[in-house]
A and B are shown apart, each in its own frame.
Chain A
Amino acid sequence: MGATPAFWLFMGPFLAGLVLFVYLPIAWSFVLSFNRAQNTVQPREFVGLQNYIDLLQPGPFLDSLWTFTIFAAIIVPLTFVLSLLLAVLLNQITVARAFFRSAFFLPTACSYVVASLIWKLSIFNGVRFGLANQVLSLFGVENIAWLSSVNPPWYWLVLATVRLWLQLGFYIILFLAGLQRISPELYEAAYVDGAKAGWQTFRYITLPQLRTTSVAVLLLNLIAAYQAFDEFFNLLSNSSLARPPLVYLYYTAQSNQDYGHGSAGAMILAALIVLVTLGQNRIYGFGRPET
Chain B
Amino acid sequence: MPAEMSHLPVSTRRTFLSLVGALGLGGALAACGGDSGGVDTGGGSGGGKPTLKQWYHLYGESGTEQAVQRYAQGYDRATVEVQWTPGDYESKLSSGLLSDSGPDVFEYQLNVDMVRSGQIVPLDDIVGPVRSDYTDTDITATSLDGSIYGVKIVDDTGFLYYRKSLLAAAGVQPPTTMDELINATRALDRGGVKGLFIGNDAGVTPAFGGGALLDLVLWTAGTASLTPDNKVGFTTPEAKDSLSKLRELAQSGSLLLGAPTDWWDPSAFTQELAAMQWCGLWAMPKIKEAFGDDFGIVPWPALSATVGKPATFLGGWTSMVSAKARDVDLAKDFVKWLWIDNAEAQEDFNLSYGFHIPPRKSLASRAQKLQEGVAADALRIFNESAVAPNPMWTPKMKSAFADAATAIVRGGGDIDAELAKAQQAVEAELARLAA
Q: What is the interface of chain A, defined by CB distance below 8 A to chain B? A: 4-6, 38-41, 59-60, 121, 125-130, 143-151, 236-241, 251-252, 254-258
Contacts and interface: CB of A to CB of B under 8 A. Distances in A.
By Cβ-Cβ distance, the 8 closest A-B pairs, closest first, are A126-B258, A145-B258, A237-B207, A39-B117, A145-B257, A148-B257, A240-B403, A254-B91
Nearest to B407: A240
Interface in B390-430: 394-396, 399-400, 402-403, 406-407, 410-412, 421, 425
Contacts of B395: 251, 255-257
Nearest to B99: A41
A5 B2 contact: yes
A252 B407 CA distance: 20
Contacts of A143: 258
Nearest to B421: A59
Given A240-B402, A254-B91, A257-B113, A148 B201 contact: yes
Contact of A5 (B8, B91, B402): B8
Given A4-B4, A38-B113, A241-B410, A254 B90 contact: yes
B7 interface: yes
Contacts of A146: 258
Interface in B188-210: 192, 200-202, 205-208, 210
Given A240-B403, A241-B411, A38 B258 contact: no
Interface in B100-117: 113-114, 116-117
A97 to B, nearest CB: 37
17 contacts: A4-B7, A38-B117, A126-B200, A126-B258, A127-B258, A127-B273, A130-B258, A148-B257, A150-B410, A237-B206, A237-B208, A238-B399, A238-B402, A241-B205, A254-B90, A256-B396, A257-B113
Contacts of A126: 200, 257-259
Contacts of B114: 39
Given A237-B210, A240-B403, A40 B205 contact: no
B260 interface: yes
Contacts of A6: 8
Given A38-B117, A148-B201, 14 more contacts: A5-B7, A6-B8, A60-B399, A127-B273, A149-B258, A237-B206, A238-B205, A238-B207, A239-B201, A239-B406, A240-B402, A251-B399, A254-B94, A256-B396
B269 to A, nearest CB: 13
Contacts of A254: 88, 90-91, 94-95
A41 B260 CA distance: 37
B32 interface: no
B5 interface: yes
B406 A147 contact: no
A40 B102 CA distance: 14
A213 B336 CA distance: 65
Nearest to A39: B117
A149 B208 CA distance: 17
Contacts of A238: 205-207, 399, 402
Given A5-B4, A38-B113, A145-B257, A150 B411 contact: yes
B28 interface: no
A42 to B, nearest CB: 9
Nearest to A258: B396
Contacts of A59: 421, 425
Nearest to B397: A256
B406 A240 contact: yes
Interface string B77-98: 0000000000010110011011
B394 A256 contact: yes
B235 interface: no
**Which one of A40, A126, A255, A257 has the greatest number of beta carbons of chain B within 10 Å?**
A257
A5 B260 contact: no
Nearest to B403: A240
A121 B260 contact: yes
Contact of A148 (B7, B91, B98, B200): B200
Contacts of A129: 260
Contacts of B137: none
Contacts of B406: 239-241
B352 interface: no
B176 interface: no
Given A41-B98, A238-B205, A240-B406, A144 B399 contact: no
B119 interface: yes
A41 B8 CA distance: 43
Contacts of B5: 5
A39 B113 contact: yes
Nearest to B410: A150
B255 to A, nearest CB: 9
B117 A239 contact: no
Given A237-B206, A238-B399, A239-B205, A125 B260 contact: yes
Contacts of B88: 254
Nearest to B98: A41
A252 to B, nearest CB: 8
Contacts of B8: 5-6
Contacts of B421: 59
A38 B97 CA distance: 13
A60 B259 CA distance: 27
Contacts of B202: 148
Contacts of B7: 4-5
Nearest to B250: A150
Contact of A240 (B113, B116, B117, B205): B205
A128 B273 CA distance: 9
Nearest to B394: A256
Contacts of B399: 60, 238, 251, 255-256
A94 B202 CA distance: 52
Given A59-B425, A238-B205, A39 B119 contact: yes
